[in-house]
């Protein structure tokens, strides 16, 4: 997991070619005025989703086996929590075909209050609980295939 600010994003180039593709795109394309929805950067290898969700309190941790998540705050109001994978004994895999595994746990773990311009990168198998808060927000999630 990496937590930082967007102005430092270039520091993380070289970790994986698909991550480099995502970083190059993010450094050259402002996200603030993009409409909600999916934007293909490199097909299913790297894509971006702009969201305007209603942040809320919930128990759902998620993880992915094939994709890295770059969670980017486009507005204030979201908190994202993390727990190590070995915290959980099992995962709901009914959405495994979409690389989405779910586990309900009330434990918050380590939480980040996302300020506009903050990002967190979650690598495959790193459980995270995004979307915590009490208001409507705006965010971007970049999915990066790690093969």
Task: Give me the number of domains the chain comprises.
Answer: 1
- Give the residue numbers spanning the domain of 85: 2-145
- 53 to 85, 119, 125, 133, 138: CA distances (angstroms): 26, 17, 24, 10, 7
The pLDDT tens digits for 1-19 are: 999 999 999 999 999 999 9
For residues 120 and 3, the answer to whether their CB atoms sit within 8 Å is yes
Mean pLDDT value across the chain: 95
pLDDT tens sequence across 45-86: 999 999 999 999 988 999 999 999 999 999 999 999 999 999
Percent of the chain with pLDDT over 90: 88
Q: What order of strands is seen across the sheet that includes strand 67-73?
A: 2-5, 118-122, 67-73, 139-145, 46-51, 37-42
Rounded Cα distance between 83 and 110, Å, is 7
DSSP helix, strand, coil percent of the chain (3-state; round to 5)? 15, 45, 40
What CATH number has the domain bearing residue 12? 2.60.120.370
Phi, psi (deg, nearest 5) at residue 19: -65, -40
Q: pTM of the entire structure?
A: 0.94
**Alpha helices by DSSP H, 15-135:** 17-28
Is 106 or 65 the better-scoring residue by pLDDT?
65
Task: Dump pLDDT digits (tens) for 22-31.
Answer: 999 999 999 9
């Amino acid at each position: 997991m990496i937590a930082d600010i967007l102005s430092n994003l270039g520091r993380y180039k070289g970790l994986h070619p698909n991550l480099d593709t995502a970083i190059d795109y993010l450094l050259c394309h402002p996200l603030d005025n993009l409409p909600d929805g999916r934007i293909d950067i490199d097909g299913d290898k790297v894509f971006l989703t702009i969201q305007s969700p209603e942040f809320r309190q919930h128990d759902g941790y998620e993880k992915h086996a094939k994709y890295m998540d770059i969670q980017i705050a486009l507005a204030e109001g979201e908190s994202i929590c993390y727990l190590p994978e070995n915290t959980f004994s099992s995962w709901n895999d009914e959405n495994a075909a979409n690389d989405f595994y779910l586990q309900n746990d009330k434990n918050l773990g380590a939480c980040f209050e996302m300020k506009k311009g903050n990002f967190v990168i979650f690598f495959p198998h790193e459980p995270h609980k995004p979307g915590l808060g009490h208001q409507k927000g705006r965010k971007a999630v970049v999915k990066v295939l790690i093969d």
